[in-house]
Structures are given as C-alpha cells and as structure tokens.
Structure 1
C-alpha cells in the first residue's frame, strides 16, 4: 500500500471520528431537551476498485418508531382532554360547596335550605314574631343569593372555557405554522444532503403539541413534508397552512348555546369557512367544547330544576295565606290580557279587612261563570271596597280603595289550568319569590324591604263571614307551617343534567346535586390519572428506544477521543515517513 493511500485512509478515519464525536457530544448536551432523540452518525467503507479507501459518514439519523410515535400522539390528545375536564369539574365541585349535616360548617345550597327550614320551624311556633319573620326572609334571601351566584359562576366557567377555546385555537395555528416552516427546512436540508433528524424531532414535538389540543391525523409524504388533517379529513396543513378561526362570545348566559345551524350563540370553529366544531372530539379543545356545551349546562339544568320547583312550591303555599296586617295592594306576576280565555272551577274568596284583620267586605267568586281573564278581573272589581285592573304591562292588580285597609285572599277550592293551581297562585298575586331559573331567583322586592309582608295568616274559609269579625287567623295551621312542610316534604323533580326524575325533599335534592358533581369531579380525576399513566408509559418506551443514555454516550465520547488520538498519531507517522522519503529523494 502506498503512503498516499495510507494517508487518505487515515484522514478519512480522522474526519469520520470527528463527526461521530460531534454527534455524541450533541447527544450528551441535549439529554434533557424535550423531544430530542439520540442521533447516530452512520459510517460506511469507501472502496476504490477492489481496495479499501477508508470510511465516510453517510448521514446522521435517529431511529424513531413510527407506530410508537403515532400511539404517543393519540395518547397526548386523550391526556389533553382528561386534564382539561378534570380541571373544570374540580372548579364546578367547588362552586357547590360541601354538605355537612352535623354542624354549621356546610357551605352547600343544601345547608342553606336546612337553615331556612330551621327558621320556618321557629316562626311556625311564634308566627306573630316580627323578628322571626325577618330571620326567615333573611335565610331565604341568603339562599336566593347563593342560587344566583352559583348560576352566575357556572356561566362564568362556560365563558372561561369559551375564551380558552379561542386561545388554544391560536396555539394550534402557531404550531401548524411551525410545522410548515420545519417542512420547508427539512426539504432544503434533504436537497443539500444534510441531516434532517433534529428538524424532524422539532416537528414531532410540534405535532404532539397540536394533538394535545385537538385530535388529528397525519402522515409524511414522499417529499418529506408532514401533512395534518382533522379526523374527518379536513386539511389543516398540506402544501400550506389552513388556519382555524374562532372568536369567543362577548357574553355567556344560560341561553347561550352552540348550534351547527344558525342561529347559534357561539361561533363555529371553522377552517376555510367550514364548521369543524363537531369534528373535534378530543384534546383540550374537544374537552372545552364538551364542558361549555354539555357538562356545565347540565349543572345549570340541575340548579334550574331546584330553583323553579322551589319557587313554584313556596309560591303555591304563600298564595294561600296573607300578611298580618294585609297589604293594601296585590300585583300578579303572570302576564295576561283581558281577552285571554279562562277556564277555572271552584270559588275564590277575596276580602277587604282593616289593619287588625277585621272584615270590611268580601265576595266568593264563582270561577265557572268566567270565560275570560277580563271576567275574573271584573268580578273582583265588583267587590265592595276593591278595585281590580290589568296594568299596562299585563299584570292583574287588586287594591283596597281605603289606604288604611288591606286585601286578603283565600283560594278556597279554585282550580285553574292542567295542574289545578289556585287562582292567586296562577296569577302570582301573593308570590313569595320570583324565578324563571336559578339565575334570577329572588325574594319579592317589597317583602325583602318589609318583612312584615311575609304571609303568616290565612283568611277564614267559613261558609259565611260577618262584617266586623276578625277573619285573619294566625296559628299552628298558618302559612309558616305550610312553607316548612313543603320544604321538608316530598317534591317531584324532573330529570335534569345528571339527575334522573326523583321525589325527595329540597335539601336532599340539593345534596344530590352536590354529590353528582363531586362524583363527576372524582371520575374525571381518575380518568386523568389513567390517561397520564398511559401517556407516560408510551413516552418512557420511546425514551428507552430513542432517548439519550448518558452513560453510553459519555463512554462513546471517551472511546472516540481515544480513536481520534490514535488516528492522529498514525497521520503524524505517515507524514513523517513522507518527509523522510522526500528528504531521501532530494539527497539523491
């Protein structure tokens, strides 16, 4: 072998060793870099004719298992959804507080209902006590405020989820642009024969980031470019980026809902003008959509069922009674018009009394004789000392003509509508609370400002009444007892949210709401733990296969340094031999 060939072989070995040392050192330096995979400098023998001519580095590669990578991408989507769901259900659970039946540490609506029960029980023993009436109204107002606050907090969570959808859509767009840029860089590097391994690592990391936000499919084309699609095949990245578009709602209420067909309270997540909201089933965005449109509305539905049933039950009892002394005027809460058809049965007793509850006048109105709302109003207006009318905004109003006298009603056996409501209850003439749901549950404003307007008496239901007699009775069978009984007795609740149709007391139903949401939070936490375990197992498998082993790489660097020194020594010997040969030729 000539000295020239020997030097060429030694030089190629020196250069190859230098590249391998560089790759091994980079592996050590990036051992803790997220998404980095161990790189290998591939070496092959150079042959000229039939003789060896040294070695060369054919490329720097990493060995990533494509099936394992795909499993990690899918697991990242499931983990992203589980983490988001667990976070929000935990926040929902906190809204409902905790139930504690043994002491006063309970913070749930069930505890507030129990406090109202206690206040009513005490009032039923002394219904004439103004201080106890005030305690009842305060307890009811506290409960009303808690219902409103909880409802508002649920809608705030929906708004948070909606805002987060917008933010995460932008994160997806940013990651898509990153992958598009990396696609270009990989194409350029491939054309120049340069390694693309580090660029592919960064691209895989960006892909995993997208997957944690939404479920996607992907493949790498023969050109080396990664293409990304929704699970339904909508292109997000092919030769260009197809950005997602979404603007969060300016205001979110219980009536704000998403619909795939207009009108919709929430925008659609769209790509190239196409709604893809329904295509996103997993990842953080998929979980946020489900929370905003399903989970949180279910919690709201449970609260609304509690609030409306509570309002209906309390009002039904309160309309059977009257304050003592009775108010000068009563105004309904049900919007009507004089021409509305009316179909009722039984009789309604309407009376005028003085401040001591002594009868001034009264009339039992035969409802079967009334065919319109106007007929009912006219019949009441005909009672001596009363004026009845329909206000400009459509509510029946009954007023005693003398400012020092009051209006009292006994529903007797009156029945209106499919549920057989008493007329006063049906018109809402003496409602205790107003509510269309939990969001607007309130104690009647005049009762809140004057607790003596709380009904604690009932108008005498004797066959006939005598002018001048006391006809308002306060006692053990009064309204306070009725309110307590309806709170603690069995009530029917329709299916709402996670709860099936059931019969229970109000405090028990409220406790069921707390329990259902606590159970949902616990389930979400368990699911998150399982998804995290699965994701970590796959990540560890990937790390075991493609991660940097510091011991191995450090030993490799040391081995290559020794090889480099030996090759450098050989090069020096060959150079010395060349110099000696040259000196001999020159001397000859």
Structure 2
C-alpha cells in the first residue's frame, strides 16, 4: 500500500469519526427535547481494486421504527377522539346536575309531583298552589336551558371542527414542504435528519386530528394517507374544506367535510377516517349530543302531556269562562273523528251549580249530543244548539274553544265508566282545552290520524330530506312534493315512492295511533334528517315534519317550547284542582272549592304509564314519567362514565405506545457515551495513522 493510500484511508477515517461524533453530540444535546428522534450515521467501507481504501458515512438517518411509529400514531388518534368526546359529553352530563342531589334536573321532576301532592292536602291554600306552579315553571325553564346548552355544546364542537380542519391544512402544507427539502437532501446524499425530525413532529400532530398511515418514499420524505386510503401528502398536499353552519338548533343540518386529494379527486373526509379529533367532534355533534337532546325532549313532552292529561280532567272553582285548546294540526272534521266513549260539557255558575250540560257519545265517525245525532261536519252546530245559548263552541286556526255566556263558566269531564278516547287521550285532553302546560309547536305525534284522514297540505309544496351513512357523510339529498291526493295515505305513499320519494333509502309507516315512523334500509341503516320543509297545513299552519315529528331534530327542538299557561301563572286560583261531577243534573252542584281530587290526579301523573316514542337510541315503550326520568338519569351518567373510561384506556395505550417508541427512538446517554468513546478512539487512531504516514514521508524525504 502506498503512503498516499495510507493517508487517504486515515483521512477518511478521521472525517467519518468527526461526523459520528457530531451526530452523537446532536443526540446528547437533545436528550430532553420532546419528540426528538436520535440520529444514526451509517458508515460503509470504501474499496479500490478489491482492497480497502477507508470508510465514509453513507447517510445520516433517524432511528425510526415504522411499526412502533404506526402504533403510536394510531393510539394518538384514538386518544384524541375519545378525549374530545369525553370532554364535551361531560359538559352535557353536568347540565343535568347530580342525579342523586336535590338540585339536579331529575330531582326537580319528582319535586313537581310532590308539590301537587301537598296541594291536595289543602286545595284552597294559595301558597301551596304557588309552590306547585313555581316548581312546575322552574322544571320547564330548566329543561329549556339544558336544551339550549346542549345545542351550545354542538356549536362548540362545530367550531372546533372548523379549527381542526384549518390546522390539518396547515400541517399538510408544512409536511409536504419538508418532503421537498428531504428529497433534495437525499438526491445529493446530504443530511436530511433535521428536516425528518421536524416532519416527524408534524406527523404526530396530524395523527391527533385524523387517523393516518405513513410510508417512506424512495426519493425521500413520506407519503401520508388516511386509514381508508385517501391521499393527504406525498404527491402534493391535500386540502380540506368545511363551512360552518349558522345558528345551531336541533334541526340544523351540517355541511360536509370535503378533502381534495393532490390529484384533484374530491371525497368526503368522514368516509376516510375512523378516529382522531375531527371524528370525535363529529360523533359528539351529530350523534351523542342530539341523542341526549331527543331523550330530554321526549321526557319533557311526556311530563307536560301527563300534567295536561290530569289538568284536563279537572276544573278550577269557579269554572273558567272560556276554555281554548291548542293547535291540533288538522281540520276539525279530521280531529273529531275517531273518538269513542262519552264526555260531558257543563256550564256552571260561580257556585258550581250546573246551568246547562251537553252529554256527548262518540262512536267513530258518528256521535250524539244529548241524544241528537251529529257528524264531524255538523258536530259544532249540534253542540251549540244543545248548550242552548249558555255557551258556544268554535274552531279557529286549529284550536277548539268553549266559551260561556255571561258570568258562567265551562267545564269538561269524561264518563267514569266509559271515558272518551282517541289515540289514548280524552276529548278535552286531545284538544288541550284545559292544558296546564302550553307549547308553541306539536308536542306529541300519536295524533290519531288514519290513512283516510285529510292531511290538509297543498299539493306541490316540498320537503327536502338528507340521508347520511354510519360515518356521518352525506349519502343523498332528496326533495319530496305533497301529492295531489289529499289523504294521509296519499302523503305516505308519496314519501315512500322509490322514484320521487325516499323509497330507495327506507320507508315511512303509519301506526294505528297516527304516529309516523321511518325505517331505513340496510345494516346499518341510513340516518334521515330534514333540510327544509316548505309545507303549511290549512288551517293549523304547521308543517308535515312538525305534525308527524319527522327527524330527530324536530323532536329534540320541543324541549325549550314548554311553559306554564300564562293565565294560571298570573292567577294561581285558576289552577284546576277540583273535578266536575259528571252525574250532576242541571240545577245541581257539580263543583266545590274544597275538592282536592284534581290535585291528587296531578300528583299521580308521574306514575301513570305513558307511551314513549323511540328517541336518541332508546326504543321507547310504555313506562311512567318517573321511571323514564330515572332511566334517563342513569343513562346520562352511564354514558359519561363510559366516555371517561374509554378516554383513560385510550390515553393509557397512547402512553404505552409512546413509551415503547421513545425507548427505541430516544436518546440513551449510556449508549451515546459508549459511541462517543468508540469514535474518539477511532479519531485518535486515524490521527496517529496520519502522523505515522507523515513520519514515513519525512524519513523518505531525508533519505533522498
């Protein structure tokens, strides 16, 4: 070997040792830097004509383990998903208060019925009446507040989705920029470890927003796809697009989150991801929060309905001069048809003595008033005739009214052995003649309509529905027009039409009680929501979706629409705590001030079995209001606890995956000390070899 070859071999060793020492120095100086991945300088032997001619550093790379990295990224995405779900659902749970405390929402439900029980002990006590009314109003005020706050949580989630989309776009642009820098360094055999370290940190942040799969490109840098394969970076940066909704209510339909791949292909992001912060926010906004709102609305609606059931069976003393019902959402002929049983409309004076009475016997489409035959079309006229001018009945804008003449009052009572009934409600209750709780929209959807009932909507008016898949992405928006046929059966057929309706995604079915239910096709079935409803019923003014409660948003929006009837709130003496004696003849007393039977009926309203509709994942069924409230209380608390457990489990897995990755990729000072000693010795050996070659040169030159 020539002296020049010796010098070259020693010089290459010296340079390689210097590079290795610089790498070790970088590692040691970043031992406490979060996310730092240690560098590894790979060196190789140089050969010339089959003989060793020194060493060189082939490349400087990061000590990355792709398996551990993938495990950590997946765990980070799931941790972020469960974290936001727990954070926001815990806010929802806190709105209801402590289920076992005296100040919680569910304890207020029991408090209302207890207050009416106290009123029954002394029906003439004004303070007890006021206490019962105060608790009742407070319950519905609290329900309205909780309903609005649930929508506020959804609005917060929607705002955070937009922020997460913007952060994702920024991270993708930075990652793609570093891809170019790494590729340039790789092409010239440069050191790209700094850019790779920065890119690794950005990828970790991205994985917390959406679940991703990372692969190394042959030219340097990485290619990033979502868990379902949508390209996010590697051939350019993808772009996410999302526009927030305006004011968020239970009926808000949110916009799609789109991702445009580098090649220009536009896809739904929700079809491409299964975890990450964005997924968790969407699940909370579109599934969990609406479910809580629907369950709350179903509970509150039945609390109001059962209180109204009892109050409609009662009467104030003296009886009110006028009873005005609520908007039943249909024509009078349709509303009055289908009743069975018997009821009595009585006109009483201030002392509770009957001045006139009309005994009504229902039998489907026919009826009699004091023995006089009537039909749905002639009922009001026959009733007015039988009341003999002491009171009048009218039906305006979907509301039935009974008004006494002069200083008299009017009261309604069902026959005790054969009470009137339609869709599970008595005559007064069905029309809401003496409701205690009023609402500005239809509160229940078992309205007693049949396929032959006229629907009252104008042909050509339209509704627009949206169908979404299991992941929350939009499947299709469909517009359906009110058909020329004027019956409910015609309307249901138009909705179910596979060409012009929603028949490709599911079907509506009309139950015997008049409720309309949607059943989606497939497993899992698509979710239906209402984008727009331009229908208006004559004469009630309600829409198709309001009348039948189509879509969870319509049902959830009921929670903030209930209030104590204004005249009773202003004058507690109008609270109906007595009951009319249906057997009292004209000239006999039918009402007395000391009667507390009506207060007992109000107190027992919470224990009466009611037919709850499916809501928020619950199948519904027959149960009492108190039992339903108890079950909902347990469900809310159970879901919050389950969300906390999922978060803690996901965090633990993320911590473990991160610890294993750090153990492999992080800096170990003991190992670095060994390497530093090794390369220092290698440096010294190369330096001594150079010195020896120099001495040999000097000796040879001295011999010349």
Q: TM-score, normalised by structure 1?
A: 0.88
Distance 2:50 2:232 in 1: 52
Identify the residue that residue 347 of structure 2 maps to in structure 1.
Answer: 352
1:274 to 256, 267, 287: 267
1:108 to 104, 129, 144: 104
Question: Would you say the 8 A contact 1:141–1:443 is kept in 2?
Answer: yes
Q: How many residues align?
A: 568
Question: Does residue 284 of structure 2 align to residue 291 of structure 1?
Answer: yes
Distance 1:475 1:490 in 2: 28
Alignment of 1:93-104 (within 5 A): 93-100=93-100
Identify the residue that residue 24 of structure 2 maps to in structure 1.
Answer: 24
- 1:193 is paired with a residue whose SS is coil
- 1:45 is paired with a residue whose SS is strand
Identify the residue that residue 320 of structure 1 maps to in structure 2.
Answer: 313
Distance 1:373 1:291 in 2: 50
Q: Which segment drifts farther, 212-221 or 296-305?
A: 212-221
- 2:347 is paired with a residue whose SS is strand
Alignment of 1:142-157 (within 5 A): 142-157=138-153
Alignment of 1:20-419 (within 5 A): 20-49=20-49, 51-100=51-100, 105-256=101-252, 265-272=253-260, 273-335=266-328, 336-340=330-334, 342-343=336-337, 344-367=339-362, 368-369=367-368, 370-372=374-376, 375-376=379-380, 379-380=383-384, 383=387, 384-391=389-396, 393-402=397-406, 404-412=407-415, 413=418, 415-419=420-424
Question: Would you say the 8 A contact 1:350–1:380 is kept in 2?
Answer: no
Q: Please report how far the alpha carbon of residue 331 of structure 1 lies from its aligned counterpart in structure 2 after TM superposition.
A: 1.1
Q: Please report how far the alpha carbon of residue 143 of structure 1 lies from its aligned counterpart in structure 2 after TM superposition.
A: 0.8
- 1:351 is paired with a residue whose SS is strand
Q: Which segment drifts farther, 377-386 or 17-26?
A: 377-386
Structure 1 gap segments, 5+ residues each:
257-264
- 2:423 is paired with a residue whose SS is coil
- 2:336 is paired with a residue whose SS is coil
Question: Would you say the 8 A contact 2:71–2:657 is kept in 1?
Answer: yes
Q: Please report how far the alpha carbon of residue 532 of structure 1 lies from its aligned counterpart in structure 2 after TM superposition.
A: 2.1
Structure 1 or 2: larger helix share? 1
Q: Please report how far the alpha carbon of residue 562 of structure 1 lies from its aligned counterpart in structure 2 after TM superposition.
A: 5.7
Q: Which segment drifts farther, 150-159 or 494-503?
A: 494-503
1:462 to 544, 558, 583: 583
Identify the residue that residue 260 of structure 1 maps to in structure 2.
Answer: none
Question: Would you say the 8 A contact 1:337–1:374 is kept in 2?
Answer: no
- 1:55 is paired with a residue whose SS is strand
CA distance 1:389–1:505, change in 2 (3 Å): closer
Distance 1:453 1:65 in 2: 77
CA distance 1:276–1:563, change in 2 (3 Å): closer
Q: Please report how far the alpha carbon of residue 2 of structure 1 lies from its aligned counterpart in structure 2 after TM superposition.
A: 5.5
Deviations 1:265-287 (A, max 9, x none): 11011123433333332211112
Q: Which segment drifts farther, 7-16 or 37-46?
A: 7-16
Q: Please report how far the alpha carbon of residue 245 of structure 1 lies from its aligned counterpart in structure 2 after TM superposition.
A: 0.9
Structure 1 or 2: larger strand share? 2
Distance 1:373 1:128 in 2: 42
Q: Please report how far the alpha carbon of residue 305 of structure 1 lies from its aligned counterpart in structure 2 after TM superposition.
A: 1.9
- 1:415 is paired with a residue whose SS is coil
Distance 2:624 2:247 in 1: 35
Q: Which segment drifts farther, 550-559 or 440-449?
A: 550-559
Deviations 1:235-288 (A, max 9, x none): 3334222211111211222222xxxxxxxx110111234333333322111122
Question: Would you say the 8 A contact 1:215–1:231 is kept in 2?
Answer: yes
Identify the residue that residue 538 of structure 1 maps to in structure 2.
Answer: 657
Question: Would you say the 8 A contact 2:186–2:219 is kept in 1?
Answer: no
Q: Please report how far the alpha carbon of residue 364 of structure 1 lies from its aligned counterpart in structure 2 after TM superposition.
A: 2.5
Distance 1:94 1:389 in 2: 47
Structure 2 gap segments, 5+ residues each:
261-265, 369-373, 444-557
- 1:127 is paired with a residue whose SS is coil
Identify the residue that residue 434 of structure 2 maps to in structure 1.
Answer: 430
Q: Please report how far the alpha carbon of residue 32 of structure 1 lies from its aligned counterpart in structure 2 after TM superposition.
A: 2.7
CA distance 1:195–1:380, change in 2 (3 Å): farther
Q: Which segment drifts farther, 308-317 or 377-386?
A: 377-386
Q: Please report how far the alpha carbon of residue 470 of structure 1 lies from its aligned counterpart in structure 2 after TM superposition.
A: 3.3
Q: Please report how far the alpha carbon of residue 130 of structure 1 lies from its aligned counterpart in structure 2 after TM superposition.
A: 1.4
Distance 2:226 2:4 in 1: 60
Distance 1:230 1:357 in 2: 75
Alignment of 1:443-458 (within 5 A): 443-458=564-579
Q: Please report how far the alpha carbon of residue 171 of structure 1 lies from its aligned counterpart in structure 2 after TM superposition.
A: 1.8
Q: Please report how far the alpha carbon of residue 318 of structure 1 lies from its aligned counterpart in structure 2 after TM superposition.
A: 0.5
